[in-house]
A and B are shown apart, each in its own frame.
Chain A
Amino acid sequence: DQQVKQNSPSLSVQEGRISILNCDYTNSMFDYFLWYKKYPAEGPTFLISISSIKDKNEDGRFTVFLNKSAKHLSLHIVPSQPGDSAVYFCAASGDPSGTYKYIFGTGTRLKVLA
């Protein structure tokens, strides 16, 4: 049962344009969401997070939007740069048992074309 889904395995965007990466979740108990970026041969690097009490969080070129009613979040990167080319994972957390594990999606490979 895939509780966090990233339905687009890959995305190509021109340099300078907006990249939009999407993520859907099924568990309404999730209350914290994160985006990680992963380069080859490196571990995932934290990018940005959002609590379920918010619907938007910005950090520089990165903005995460949360739509709780649709159980959907998205990451916007504006403007996109070639160095943003990586695999992006969304993750969700929020477990009544108290184990604050992250549930990850399968990732979206972003390629920013120069």
Chain B
Amino acid sequence: ETGVTQSPTHLIKTRGQQVTLRCSSQSGHNTVSWYQQALGQGPQFIFQYYREEENGRGNFPPRFSGLQFPNYSSELNVNALELDDSALYLCASSFGGTVAKNIQYFGAGTRLSVL
């Protein structure tokens, strides 16, 4: 059973650029959630995808967008990067987007630095 993998591990961008982060979900999982973790904070929910449809969104602007593919892997896209977007971006996969009790399993994250 493969775990959740994220790429790239680290990324440096400049303000105003666009970035795409990728996530492969754990085998057998059909739901992917994305979180942003700023330094010294807990992860904050960005959005969740269940069977290729957005299944809920946190308090993030529309320049944060996502996709889920038929194999349940996912992308997080951020346009018009701002300095405050510098953070660790975590992807979590689970089974059954509408079942609250399913555990979310996290990848190691992508560290994004915006200069």
Question: Residues of A with Cβ closer than 8 Å to B?
Answer: 4, 6, 31-32, 34, 36, 41-46, 49, 51, 89, 91, 93-95, 97-107
Report yes or no: B90 in contact with A99, Cβ–Cβ below 8 A.
no
- In whole angstroms, what is the CA distance A105 to B37 when docked? 11
- Could you say which residues of chain B place their CB within 8 Å of the CB of A32? 100-101
Question: Residues of B with Cβ closer than 8 Å to A?
Answer: 4, 33, 35, 40-45, 48, 55-58, 90, 92, 97-109
**Are A44 and B43 CB-contacts (below 8 A) given A51-B101, A93-B100, A100-B48?**
yes
Report yes or no: A44 in contact with B97, Cβ–Cβ below 8 A.
no
Q: What are 13 contact pairs spanning A and B, CB under 8 A?
A: A32-B101, A36-B106, A44-B43, A44-B90, A46-B103, A46-B104, A51-B101, A91-B42, A94-B100, A95-B56, A97-B56, A106-B41, A107-B41
Distance (whole angstroms) from the CB of B80 to the closest CB of chain A: 24
- In whole angstroms, what is the CA distance A42 to B98 when docked? 27
- Could you say which residues of chain A place their CB within 8 Å of the CB of B97? 100
Main secondary structure of the interface of A (DSSP, over half): loop
- In whole angstroms, what is the CA distance A30 to B42 when docked? 17
- In whole angstroms, what is the CA distance A78 to B109 when docked? 30
**Are A101 and B106 CB-contacts (below 8 A) given A32-B101, A106-B40?**
no
Report yes or no: A99 in contact with B56, Cβ–Cβ below 8 A.
yes
A101 touches which of B56, B102, B108 (Cβ 8 Å) = B56
- In whole angstroms, what is the CA distance A36 to B106 when docked? 10
- Could you say which residues of chain B place their CB within 8 Å of the CB of A93? 100
**Are A106 and B42 CB-contacts (below 8 A) given A43-B109, A100-B97, A100-B100?**
yes
